[in-house]
Amino acid sequence: MSVVNEDNDNNVNNDNNDNSNELTNKQKVNILVKNGFATLSQVKWGSGHRDVIVINQKKYQYKRGKDVNNKYLSDKVAEVYRKMMEKLDSNKKDDVRINVMRRYKTIRENALKKFAVKYKARVTDEQSAFKNYANRYTIDNIRLNGLAGLSYLNQQYARLNAFLQTNPGMIIMVQVKALFRKNNDDGEIDKLHPQSRRYEIHNPEQLRSTLQRAREDLSFQIENSNLKGSGYVLQKIQNITVNYDRFNPTRGGSYIKLPNDISNKKACINIQNKDNKCFKYSVLCGYYELYKKDHSERVSHYTNFKGDKLNWDGIHFPTNNADID
């Protein structure tokens, strides 16, 4: 991270803070101004104006382009310059730490993925024991120890997404059988059977994040189970069971022709869109009073609307109740 310095005689980098002792006050002022830690201005003085430097909202008399001869201002410039260098150095260390952590996480996740692909687990279709879930399969022969075994859950995206593509939505609930061994001479074995909450999924992006959330949910339950506090140590994830089914929630999608008894009342604007942005167009219609336009049911009023200042980030289309909440 470099400090901006356009002074021709010096090129200062904050990796070498000792340079601060070699700079003149004039050079320090230039660096402070270039990096936003000070500003040069003018104030009215008698019938004319006087040059000043503003540091921490306080004004000090200073002639542009000249060195600092005032000891009080010289000390102030040195103090602010030192703090600036410390701050920039601290930011640089934080950036390095964050990049290292991100890189470590990526390497670890890739390693787990390669292991899971190389040592494929056994997947068995089963009859679901839950009446709300028509589909169920179990993953066993998991060869990763500890919580790393849950990484096989992330590898289920392709199979579950194939189901999602043929349905308006899906629900998922994941169960796990975790094997614990007591850390003593007897090596007693016990099992824990945590399960995730029910997740409602409406698009592929949501499916990918849901698998990760389910993994984190199950990890938390295992880490905070009573067995962990009784001298037992997690050995492995013995199996993972995925329960899923079709889900058709209340949501805004595309144009559907109104029944005659509603249409004949002329009380509803039924926007004739062919995409899945029915909810967005309905909001635009009411918020910007597009219903006042002739033939306000025509989708062109909404797709060509240029004055939209609403933030639609994070809204999925078709839109479901979770997006609105």
Model pLDDT for residues 289-324, shown as the tens digit of each residue: 888 889 988 989 988 888 888 888 877 777 766 566
Shared domain check, 257 and 241 = no
Shared domain check, 288 and 224 = no
Shared domain check, 241 and 192 = yes
Query: CA–CA separation, 269 vs 259, rounded Å?
Result: 13
Residue after which a domain boundary falls, among 196, 228, 246: 246
8 part of a folded domain: no
Query: What residues form DSSP beta bridges with 124?
Result: 138
pLDDT of residue 94: 66
Q: Tell which residue, 220, 175, 172, 219, has the closest CA to residue 199.
A: 172
Q: How many domains does the chain have?
A: 3
pLDDT of residue 108: 65
How far is the CA of 26 from the CAs of 54, 56, 73, in angstroms? 14, 18, 11
pLDDT of residue 53: 85
How far is the CA of 198 from the CAs of 148, 244, 281, in angstroms? 22, 9, 30
Residue after which a domain boundary falls, among 204, 231, 246: 246
Shared domain check, 234 and 260 = no
Domain range for 315:
251-324
pLDDT of residue 19: 44
* CATH code at position 197: 3.30.1490
Give the CA dihedral 32, 34, 36, 40, nearest 10 degrees.
80
Q: pLDDT under 50 in the chain at which residues?
A: 1-21
Shared domain check, 238 and 259 = no
Shared domain check, 189 and 300 = no
pLDDT of residue 208: 92
Residue after which a domain boundary falls, among 46, 75, 91: 91
pLDDT of residue 160: 95
Shared domain check, 209 and 305 = no
Give the CA dihedral 74, 76, 80, 82, nearest 10 degrees.
60
Shared domain check, 129 and 227 = yes
pLDDT of residue 42: 83
The pTM assigned to this predicted structure is: 0.47
Shared domain check, 298 and 272 = yes
SS3 call for 55: strand
